[in-house]
Chain A
């Protein structure tokens, strides 16, 4: 697995917060990622939901933003000292509790992904939109959502590591 350089938490947070402000001041767009997954759906689905509102014009900034994200990951990996490696490993801790067989591990991640995608749309945003952009606006529904994210995460990981 690729080992990337990790800054201390507060420096990382400073950079994330500064980035969110930079994007907002430059473009007037608040940070957000999960809505962009629906832009992708606009191209492969005829469902009315993906052709109105946020998705009336799917070739928008969100689409280009989520295309940039993996390239940012590639850049981060290439500028880290270790060799870049393609791997299905989830790191020491998760590999210990997740199934060894790739199909079973993949299925669990897929189900996790479905919960992330469905939950984000129900909540109206994800960690970026609610926990970073929303909290910066001191917007109370985002505080509720961020609390919900953490409660869900604690339940999932406690279950995973205590009972499997």
Chain B
């Protein structure tokens, strides 16, 4: 049942992304042309708040509120494809002025260009899955 609450979490996070300027196309151009670093400040502040919060949660040995499980502080593994993947992602980020989360939020705001981006993200994910399924019988 816990999973259904994430529709509310998604609404909250989507709203915040919009208010943070992450769904405003111009901020992407201005960020990567070094004209207005709005989105860099968003990420830097979010990461800083996160670091402080993670340190506190770790120290207090907090358990998750919804299921009482201990919190896991493990990050994502380093893989050989991480660097090239992050560069490819970054190119798409700049070309489409969106990332996976913000493209979905933009659609909700009526920014229909995000439809193409979203279809592309699904397609790109699917292409990766095809590559990852090689050697298996379908």
Q: Which residues of A contact B (CB under 8 A)?
A: 1-2, 4-10, 12-21, 23-28, 31, 33-34, 36-38, 40-41, 45-50, 59-77, 84-94, 105-142, 144-158, 160-161
Contact = CB atoms under 8 A, between A and B. Distances in A.
Interface string B15-48: 1111111111110111111000111111111111
Given A15-B16, A69-B104, A76-B18, A10 B45 contact: yes
A109 B120 contact: yes
Interface residues of B, number: 117
Nearest to A1: B111
Contact of B17 (A2, A16, A134): A16
Given A65-B10, A135-B51, A141-B77, A77 B18 contact: yes
Nearest to A145: B86
B87 to A, nearest CB: 5
Nearest to A13: B45
Contacts of B106: 73
A151 B97 contact: no
Interface of B: 2-26, 28-33, 37-51, 53-54, 57, 62, 64-67, 69, 71-79, 81-101, 103-114, 116-130, 132-133, 136-138
Nearest to A118: B124
A158 B91 CA distance: 10
B128 A117 contact: yes
B10 to A, nearest CB: 2
B50 A135 contact: yes
